[in-house]
Structure 1
Amino acid sequence: MITIILFCFEALFAVQSNANINVTIIHTTDIHGWINSHVHDSRYDAGVWDLYNFVDYYKRTAGPNDLVLLLDTGDLTQGTGLSDATPIQGQFIFDVMKLLPFDGLAIGNHELGNEDCINNIADNFAPFWNGRYLGWNVEHTNPNKKLTGDYFTIKLPNNQGNILVMGFLYNMHGAASNVKITPINQLLTENRFRKAFSEPNVKMIINLCHIATNASEIKQLHNFISQHKPDTPQLYLTGHSHLIRTKDLDTLSTLDAATTSSHAFAMESGAFARQLGFIRFTLSPNGIQMNEEDGHMSNAVFIGENGIEMLDGGDLSSVSSDSLSSSLLSKLSFQHYFVNYNHKTMLSWTKTNDSTFNTPAGNSIHRMVSRKYYDLNLGRVIGYSKYHYYKNQRVEEGQHSLSRLVLDEMLPAWRWNINNAFFIVGTSSLRADIYEGTVVVDDVYAVDPFNNMMFAINNVSGEHINQLKKMRFDGRTFFDKYAASSTLIDPNGRYTIISSEYDAKNLLSALNTFAPGSYAMRSTSFSLRPIIHQFILKNWNNNSFSSFSELAEE
């Protein structure tokens, strides 16, 4: 399935030549270790080798007036065993990414929680990209280690100017001790940031942002850059929130009145190697012209004059309503696609077949990934699931909830030696479904790539737990932020809350607003991933299933 969204992008790109420049931008973000395809979901059956072949096709077939860019906006790690079963988090993922023809990348927050991961990036990954791995507001605390670059330029064909590429991370809290993150609003006051604006003959600015499209940091960057480069178009490739969405930053009501530019656009391209963002436009003396020769209007979701039209089974489930501004539809001057990580889709999109699409380098990457998957024993079967357990907090009728499975079955079955345990898990802590059928080691890594230590808050009053459920956290209700045991709470009872370290800190802070200084947290010495693993080993090896095929037929 290919999702197509058409936008008005009214900025004119002045080009000092009569030659048109055809620009193709391929955007990846929040890959989170998903380089070996989604074996349980055939919609996303492409692996990182297919991505290589897809990009290679466009770069290899580009003409003298064509510019093809592959750009990533962070969070390469924490999501699968290939990312997180290695001695250092992301060690193998970084090695694989160095084999892909990226023109620029930005660092993500999931690379910044582990000191060893940070040092590995500074020592082995960032130097490879020679200043094109970006994060202007991210620094190593050791001045002798260069963790990220600030900006770089890309020359347009035919000496028609430059593209300025800058990279940023949101105002992250809780990073490892060997990294320093400068808030965006502070960065904008520093002279070192403004030096990029002195680059000559800049025709376009691309910002690689591991920042959610709607975040205040995007607004701050857009306003500041627009004030200093009012006639230069801006493209924001965003990430972090795992949504598919786009936004015209100049026509929506969130725009500050002081901003004078009229040509800034943002695109966020999902997560977990499910979609590629794909932009095509032509730079010409008359502005941006849409490339229409591809003919992919069928088999798509099209946002047109009458709103959303579903064509050939398109799926809008992960398309944000931010994309639906009617003011963006007055012209077909700019074209944006979401292309599924699907092998057949990539063949169709490039008008190739296996023999013309596959490359020796892509095949080598495939073998490399398969070998590491085998070496890490990620394909070892540990059990069989009768049901598909959905990670979504609110499941449809007849569906099975992963959070209910974890909170009401897996965690209570563990050897806590605690009375009246009450379990709370952040809704973002369980990252993937458990699918019906064979369960392998890698599936457990996908559910819990973090392996967070579980912490206990002792002797919590039932009344305070009930009050906790009525609180808001970062503007969200308790039940949007967390999933909790189904246990009915006695207001007069006493309970031990057990949660991951990350979530327990927030819960502890909230509880101490009810009774200041009354509560503390302690480590249980257990982490979540082995608990899930051991539960499946013990309880899901049903001898009545003699084979996977028999299980699948039930």
Structure 2
Amino acid sequence: LPWSELNFLSTTDIHGFVNGQGGNMQGQYSANFADFAVFVDNMKAKAAEKGVELFLIDCGDQHDGTVLSDNIKAPGQSVDAQLTLPAIRMADYDVLSIGNHEMYTNDIIDQVTNEVAPSWKGRYITLSLKFQIVACLASSDTATGKPVGAKVRQFVGTQGTKVTAFGFVFQTFNQAGSNIKLTNVTDEVKQSWFTDAVSQPADLFILGGHIALRNQFGNTDKANSIEWDAAIKAIRAINPTTPIAVFGGHYHLRDFKNMGVNAYGISAGRYMETVAFMSMTKDGSKVDRRYLDANVPTYNFHLGRDENAPLANTTEKGNMMLKIIANAAAVTNSSLVVGKAPQDYYLSRVGINDTNSLYKLVGDYMAPTWQKPAPANPLYAIMNSGGLRYDIFAGDVTLDAAFQATPFNNKLILVPDVPFSAIKNFARNMEEYEKTIAFHRRGDGSTCTATLGYVTTDDLSATNPGDDTLHCAISNVKNPNYAVYSPRVLPCAPLDQKWDLIFVDYIEKDVKAVL
């Protein structure tokens, strides 16, 4: 790894993936969270030997994604992630921020406010830039309440670096539970508490947050997201050249971006597939990065150990974490086989009308069953693309794999007697998408002999590839917002014909807007 004077490891969008994942990905993301935590401890020891700094940052969304975190019927788990958060708490993070998946429901908001944030003793930072977040004592009383975590953390690294750290979340989030109050980053950076904190002596600013680095989705937009841009400009008004290290998330992408003078950002993908490494000189004049596949051979390689040697069980902490993870897997019945897939079904490797599309599978076979009992009206069903989260691979489908594919506790809403003219509005959006569908990238498996995985394009990749392991690129298709719909082709029908419209409650506001 390209070590320097200031070094960083980061994660984001863990989404309950503490037990590793193999799937059909040849095991390159198979390390569990105990392996990761022991790797971090060894890396911090290595940094101390080198006489350099190493900081660990997480950028939110630790909830929603696997049966270990989401099976709230399991013993000991009445709230999402109750079984997995104890393992995450044992990793030696220096800065953590909240994600939108920590804010949808009041039970999780209360969990984060009263259990998660206090357990990090000032390192869980949410009352900064993007949103001001306040958990209300009563949902009807927004004037009272207590902060979720700290506004700012000011600390000194092991090598004497004075650090000021803030934590954010994207300010367009509008689906938070009633027990939380949000303010915009663009407003918060103008407050006296923020300028006072920025005015204190600092050698480094760490900005961690659940915000994409770029203003537009993908790896090519040159503009910073509005939240990061506001934060960086506010800091630069007081500290023109002090290095700024930005750690983002939410878009589930590997990415690195030049964010301004001596300001650099990195994002570590999703689901504990990626551990991001970034390094820079003390003056911020030089920077580099790597995206590590989350597996034990990769960790061991960078620790100078036998690549095939076990890692998690080499320390007392690692063994404790293994017990926590094993218990979570056992009580949630994660390995229970609940079905068998005849083939692979993908979210983004193929178009939504491809026979290997998970969206098509759900639209063709699941959606028609949502209308019970047998209907008098024709059915139109629609679901947002984000309701499906992970591929299903050929072979046995475990309960964990099923939760990974669709982890949310959504309800189905039926609107009877909708005129066919309104139904056509939904279908028209799909038809327009089909005319403009485009691949972001097509993998070429015929000539590539490496493992399937990410081939990352970022602000340094033209001359300095960032992926730590060589991969064969996987095709990546841009999907519409509503990729699950049924029927796929509407019949010719009178505009006043009555239909039944069924959708998941997550998109209720959007559906009402169309109706």
Give, in whole Å, the separation in 2 of the partners of 1:164 and 1:489.
60
Task: List per-residue Cα deviations over 1:99-156 (Å, max 9, x = no partner).
Answer: 1111110011101111111111222111111111011221112345431211112314
* 1:380 equivalenced with 2:336 (yes/no): yes
TM-aligned CA distance change 1:398 to 1:349, over 3 Å: farther
CA contact (8 A) 2:371 2:379 kept: no
* 1:178 equivalenced with 2:164 (yes/no): no
Give, in whole Å, the separation in 2 of the partners of 1:458 and 1:223.
51
Question: Which of 20, 27, 30 does residue 13 from structure 2 map onto?
Answer: 30
1:63-142 correspondence to structure 2 within 5 Å:
63=48, 65-85=51-71, 86-136=77-127, 137-142=132-137
Q: Gaps spanning 5+ residues in structure 2: where?
A: 72-76, 138-143, 215-224, 438-478
Give, in whole Å, the separation in 2 of the partners of 1:195 and 1:385.
57
Matching residue's letter, 1:164: T
Give, in whole Å, the separation in 2 of the partners of 1:503 and 1:414.
16
Q: Normalising by the residue count of structure 2, what TM-score does the alignment of the two structures yield?
A: 0.79
Q: 1:61 corresponds to which residue?
A: 46
CA contact (8 A) 1:463 1:491 kept: no
Task: List per-residue Cα deviations over 1:211-260 (Å, max 9, x = no partner).
Answer: 1112322222222222232122211100111111111123xxxxxxxxxx
Q: 1:221 corresponds to which residue?
A: 231
Give, in whole Å, the separation in 2 of the partners of 1:225 and 1:489.
58
Give, in whole Å, the separation in 2 of the partners of 1:69 and 1:238.
15
Task: List per-residue Cα deviations over 1:428-482 (Å, max 9, x = no partner).
Answer: 110011111111111121111112101123322223222334459xx99996110
CA contact (8 A) 1:91 1:117 kept: no
Give, in whole Å, the separation in 2 of the partners of 1:464 and 1:196.
53
Task: List per-residue Cα deviations over 1:350-387 (Å, max 9, x = no partner).
Answer: 21132677323213212221122111212111121111
Q: 2:318 corresponds to which residue?
A: 362
TM-aligned CA distance change 1:411 to 1:226, over 3 Å: same
1:492-507 correspondence to structure 2 within 5 Å:
492=494, 493-507=497-511
Q: State the Cα distance separating 1:28 from its structure 2 match.
A: 0.3
Q: State the Cα distance separating 1:390 from its structure 2 match.
A: 0.9
* Secondary structure, counterpart of 2:101 in structure 1: helix
CA contact (8 A) 1:461 1:491 kept: no
Question: Which of 25, 31, 38 does residue 46 from structure 1 map onto?
Answer: 31
Instruction: Give the count of matched residue pairs.
Output: 433
Q: CA RMSD, aligned part only?
A: 2.6
TM-aligned CA distance change 1:47 to 1:355, over 3 Å: closer
TM-aligned CA distance change 1:489 to 1:191, over 3 Å: farther
CA contact (8 A) 1:25 1:70 kept: yes
Question: Which of 257, 274, 288 does residue 247 from structure 1 map onto?
Answer: 257
* 1:280 equivalenced with 2:282 (yes/no): no
1:224-303 correspondence to structure 2 within 5 Å:
224-250=234-260, 262-283=261-282, 287=283
CA contact (8 A) 2:22 2:28 kept: no
Comparing 232-241 with 483-492, greater Cα deviation is found at: 483-492
Q: 1:406 corresponds to which residue?
A: 362
Q: State the Cα distance separating 1:346 from its structure 2 match.
A: 1.3
TM-aligned CA distance change 1:457 to 1:396, over 3 Å: closer
Matching residue's letter, 1:185: T
Matching residue's letter, 2:135: H
Q: State the Cα distance separating 1:63 from its structure 2 match.
A: 2.5
CA contact (8 A) 1:457 1:508 kept: no
Q: 2:208 corresponds to which residue?
A: 208
* Secondary structure, counterpart of 2:16 in structure 1: coil
CA contact (8 A) 1:466 1:491 kept: no
Give, in whole Å, the separation in 1 of the partners of 2:99 and 2:20.
21
Q: State the Cα distance separating 1:26 from its structure 2 match.
A: 0.5
Q: 1:538 corresponds to which residue?
A: none
Larger radius of gyration: 1
Give, in whole Å, the separation in 2 of the partners of 1:356 and 1:408.
44
Give, in whole Å, the separation in 2 of the partners of 1:395 and 1:223.
40
Q: Normalising by the residue count of structure 1, what TM-score does the alignment of the two structures yield?
A: 0.73
* Secondary structure, counterpart of 1:361 in structure 2: helix
CA contact (8 A) 1:164 1:204 kept: yes
Identity %: 26
Matching residue's letter, 1:139: V
Question: Which of 464, 473, 477 does residue 422 from structure 2 map onto?
Answer: 464
Give, in whole Å, the separation in 2 of the partners of 1:97 and 1:58.
17
Q: Gaps spanning 5+ residues in structure 1: where?
A: 7-19, 251-261, 290-332, 512-554
CA contact (8 A) 2:417 2:500 kept: yes
Matching residue's letter, 2:291: F
